[in-house]
Amino acid sequence: MTDTNRIALVTGANKGIGLEIARQLAQAGVSVIIGARDPGRASKAVDTLSSDGLQVRSVALDVTDHGSIAAAVETVRAEHGRLDILVNNAGIVDAEDGPPSSAVPDAARRIMETNFVGTLAVTQAMLPLLRLSSAARIVNLSSSLGSLAVNGDPASPYYSARLIGYNASKAALNMLTVQLAAELRDTPHVVNSVSPGYVKTDLTGHNGFMTPEEGAKLPVYYALLGPDSVSGRFVEPGGETPW
Ligand code: NAP
């Protein structure tokens, strides 16, 4: 399969790392669908990439809305008949999240709904189309903050980042990666958790060490993995992340 034949859906691709993942996949010749929950932001993202000479399209997709997911599946099915790459990028933080002793429980619920349950629902709904690919690649945008080992290691630079809702949502996402990889074990389809690094976006209040362009590089690498690729891994720019 050549890259020009590959069809990719990137969720939450109207800004930040997702927009750059869409850009880099399109630059690699992949046919990219920008998933975005807001039509205005979706068309702005399409315009941005089109003005750079890239051909992308968008689909309305709110990962917390079953009707929206079902409609997106039908759009991809009608326009492409299959899906080769799914990048589960949509994600949130919440101002009421925090350490276990003080985080607002409803904030944790909201975060889980988007980062874990939403990703599970999108992946499950897209799976029949992904199974029609000769070699589907699923990339889950995780975080080093989702590592149980990192959270328990006083020597880790992330030790003090105590966001029970966000960190638990990414740990749960990693469980999706591991269990889905096991389900897909005897197929050509792979799924991996990729931490992009600490990236300057709206989500981090524009703190971080990397630009969105740099943060997109590893997720794109895993989206374009060749045949006989690894599956069920948790990686970050420096290598494997401990679970
Ligand atoms: P961002 O700039 O805030 O972008 C997040 C994207 O997700 C936006 O397009 C947003 O859409 C979308 N989104 C949120 N809720 C959604 C929903 N219900 N349905 C569909 N789309 C939704 O954040 P980012 O930093 O690029 O983060 C992208 C991913 O990387 C996230 O999963 C994040 O957890 C992960 N990550 C980021 C970092 C970092 O340092 N930045 C580190 C590790 C992991 P709207 O514009 O409509 O809100």
Write the pLDDT tens digit of every residue in 104-140. 999 999 999 999 999 999 999 999 999 999 999 999 9
C-alpha–C-alpha distance, residues 179 and 176, integer Å: 5
Q: What is the pLDDT of residue 132?
A: 98
Q: Which of 44, 158, 170, 221 is catalytic?
A: 170
How do the domains of the chain map onto residue ranges?
3-240
Q: What is the pLDDT of residue 20?
A: 98
Buried b or exposed e, range 42-59, using 16+ CB within 10 angstroms: beebbebbeeeebebebb
- C-alpha torsion sign, points 35, 38, 39, 40: negative
Q: Tell me the pLDDT tens digit for each residue of 135-194.
A: 999 999 999 999 999 999 999 999 999 999 999 999 999 999 999 999 999 999 999 999
Q: Which of 158, 166, 217, 222 is catalytic?
A: 166
CATH of domain 3-240: 3.40.50.720
Q: pTM for the full model?
A: 0.98
Around Cβ 63, how many Cβ atoms within 10 Å? 27
Q: Tell me the pLDDT tens digit for each residue of 7-35.
A: 999 999 999 999 999 999 999 999 999 99
C-alpha–C-alpha distance, residues 22 and 125, integer Å: 21
Atom index in ligand 1 nearest the CA of residue 68 equals 19
Q: Does the beta carbon of 9 sit less than 6 angstroms from any atom of ligand 1?
A: no
User: Mean pLDDT of all residues in the chain?
Assistant: 96
Find out whether 33 and 39 touch, Cβ atoms under 8 Å.
Answer: no
pLDDT-derived band of residue 3, with 50, 70 and 90 as boundaries? very low
Q: What is the SS3 assignment for 217?
A: helix
> Is 200 marked active-site?
no
Q: Which of 9, 21, 33, 37 to mutate to test the pocket of ligand 1 (most atoms within 8 A of CB)?
A: 37
Q: What is the SS3 assignment for 110?
A: helix
pLDDT-derived band of residue 214, with 50, 70 and 90 as boundaries? very high
C-alpha–C-alpha distance, residues 55 and 31, integer Å: 7
- 205 CB contacts (<8 Å, ≥6 apart)? none
Buried b or exposed e, range 102-139, using 16+ CB within 10 angstroms: ebeeebbebbbebbbbbbbbbbebbbebbeebebbbbb
Helical (H) or strand (E) element with 6: none
191: closest CA among 136, 124, 133, 112?
A: 136
> Is 217 marked active-site?
no
135: closest CA among 75, 225, 222, 200?
A: 225
Find out whether 141 and 219 touch, Cβ atoms under 8 Å.
Answer: yes
C-alpha–C-alpha distance, residues 57 and 26, integer Å: 10
Helical (H) or strand (E) element with 30: none
Atom index in ligand 1 nearest the CA of residue 61 equals 20
pLDDT mean over 216-224: 98
